[in-house]
């Protein structure tokens, strides 16, 4: 069974706070403006990056690398010299295969200045090149009934959310907020920090169903729903629309840890799950923990008000590998919350000799602070 990663509410709040203008990215109090393009629109592609705000005549480099995901660790790190075109410094890198995550910052060699995204140290620009999973979606319902919808799209294209109010997740008519038949649309904003698009819509009345698809107006491509493109409470309709019900749960999954970093096959394990219970009183729930194809059920679990940790014990009856367990919490037949737990690492050491472990500390990205407290 394929288990997808569900982004937590905390991450979604960060995404909402960082919504910025697509394609051309002003750097808040910074004096730099960065733009980029990915060509061609399918298959292996090149990335052309431009930055304005650096004086003519400087020696400027695009410092970039390949990463497994946005804001991930870099590999194949390269410095590419940028050329002055009369208004900006420009460089083209690639080609990159579809689905390759590329990150970059800038280095003004003349002044020895590092230029990060929004001028925040360690923040990078991130792009998924012609993503094969374009349309991968997650959504979060806020307490006021607003819905934050986030999607992987082909950056830096212009993407519209095409949505309507419906009576359920089936093949049913769409309506606008004024109750007239039809759809509404909203422009999605590309976020270079995470390499995805987001938009906040309405708020809606509790229990309202919303369906949507995406329209990439740059390539005139419609992105529809499929089982491998959804996470969390998002569902697919029979005719390929994305759908979610506007239901906010006062029980929020915060994070989870395990009793060990790595487990052996058939070893006993414990997952410590932290919730925030905003009901204002103890709530009794049932939980289902799914690890690979095996389910563990926990009944009549009491979660106290405020922040509260629940210990879930289970036996690791799965082969060696890395797994992403999912946890679903029910009360009176209603799903209160659902989340993906951190990766579960399982080893099978039967008949295998012990391994040696060498730990090397590399101060790769120290805080570049001068003795007077200023950034270098």
From residue 340, alpha-carbon distances to 125, 133, 231, 315 in Å are: 26, 19, 9, 18
Domain holding 315, by residue range, is 251-347
Q: Looking at residue 177, which CATH number applies to its domain?
A: 2.60.40
Q: What is the C-alpha separation between 35 and 48, in angstroms, rounded?
A: 8
Question: CB–CB of 331/310 below 8 Å?
Answer: no
Q: What is the C-alpha separation between 109 and 127, in angstroms, rounded?
A: 24
Q: What is the C-alpha separation between 62 and 126, in angstroms, rounded?
A: 13
Q: Does any domain span residue 70?
A: yes
Backbone φ/ψ region at 259: left (φ over 0), alpha (ψ -120 to 50), beta: alpha
Q: Looking at residue 258, which CATH number applies to its domain?
A: 2.60.40.10
Q: Does any domain span residue 373?
A: no
End position of a domain, from candidates 205, 220, 245: 245
**Structural domain tally of the chain?**
3
pLDDT of residue 25: 45
pLDDT, tens only, 187-240: 999 999 999 999 999 999 888 999 999 999 999 999 999 999 998 789 999 999
End position of a domain, from candidates 222, 245, 268: 245
Provide φ and ψ at 72, rounded to 5°. Answer: -90, 180
State whether 149 and 233 are in the same domain: yes
State whether 13 and 124 are in the same domain: yes
State whether 271 and 299 are in the same domain: yes
State whether 235 and 257 are in the same domain: no
State whether 229 and 163 are in the same domain: yes
State whether 323 and 261 are in the same domain: yes
State whether 90 and 150 are in the same domain: no
Question: CB–CB of 71/194 below 8 Å?
Answer: yes
Q: What is the C-alpha separation between 149 and 12, in angstroms, rounded?
A: 9
State whether 47 and 81 are in the same domain: yes
State whether 70 and 108 are in the same domain: yes
Is the pTM of the predicted complex or chain greater than 0.85?
Answer: no
Q: What is the C-alpha separation between 122 and 116, in angstroms, rounded?
A: 7
State whether 115 and 170 are in the same domain: no
Residues 6+ apart with CB under 8 A from 89: 50, 51, 52, 54, 58, 60, 82, 83, 106
Q: Does any domain span residue 374?
A: no
At 376, the pLDDT band (50, 70, 90 cuts) reads low
Q: Does any domain span residue 3?
A: no
Q: Does any domain span residue 1?
A: no
End position of a domain, from candidates 106, 128, 150: 128
Q: Does any domain span residue 366?
A: no
Question: CB–CB of 75/100 below 8 Å?
Answer: no
State whether 211 and 305 are in the same domain: no
pLDDT, tens only, 89-141: 999 999 999 999 999 999 999 999 999 999 998 899 999 999 999 999 999 88
pLDDT of residue 10: 39
């Amino acid at each position: 069974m394929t288990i997808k990663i569900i982004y937590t509410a905390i991450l979604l709040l960060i995404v909402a706070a960082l919504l910025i203008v697509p394609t051309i990215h002003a750097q808040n109090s910074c004096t730099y403006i960065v733009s980029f393009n990915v060509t061609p629109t399918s298959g292996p592609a090149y990335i052309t990056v431009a930055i304005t705000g650096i004086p003519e005549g400087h020696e400027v480099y695009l410092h970039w690398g390949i990463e497994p995901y946005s804001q991930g660790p870099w590999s194949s790190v390269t410095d590419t010299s940028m050329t002055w075109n009369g208004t900006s410094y420009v460089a083209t890198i690639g080609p990159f295969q579809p689905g390759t995550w590329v990150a970059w910052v800038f280095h003004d060699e003349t002044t020895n200045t590092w230029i990060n995204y929004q001028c925040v140290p360690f923040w990078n620009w991130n792009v998924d090149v012609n993503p094969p999973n374009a349309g991968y979606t997650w959504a979060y319902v806020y307490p006021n009934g607003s819905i934050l919808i986030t999607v992987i799209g082909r950056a830096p294209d212009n993407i519209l959310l095409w949505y309507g109010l419906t009576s359920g997740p089936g093949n049913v008519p769409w309506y606008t907020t004024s109750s007239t038949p039809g759809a509404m649309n909203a422009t999605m904003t590309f976020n270079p920090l995470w390499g995805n698009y987001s938009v906040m819509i309405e708020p809606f009345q509790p229990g309202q169903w919303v369906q949507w698809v995406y329209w990439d107006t740059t390539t005139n491509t419609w992105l529809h729903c499929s089982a491998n493109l959804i996470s969390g409470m998002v569902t697919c309709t029979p005719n390929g629309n994305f759908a979610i019900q506007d239901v906010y749960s006062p029980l929020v999954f915060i994070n989870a840890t395990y009793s060990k970093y790595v487990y052996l096959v058939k070893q006993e394990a414990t997952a410590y799950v932290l919730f925030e219970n905003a009901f204002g009183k103890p709530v009794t729930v049932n939980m289902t923990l799914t690890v690979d194809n095996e389910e563990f059920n926990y009944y009549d679990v009491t979660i106290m008000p405020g922040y509260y940790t629940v210990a879930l014990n289970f036996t690791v009856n799965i082969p060696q590998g890395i797994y992403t367990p999912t946890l679903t919490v029910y009360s009176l037949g209603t799903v209160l919350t659902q989340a993906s737990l951190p990766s579960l690492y399982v080893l099978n050491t039967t008949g295998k000799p012990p391994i040696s472990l060498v730990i090397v500390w590399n101060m790769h990205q120290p805080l570049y602070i001068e003795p007077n407290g200023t950034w270098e």
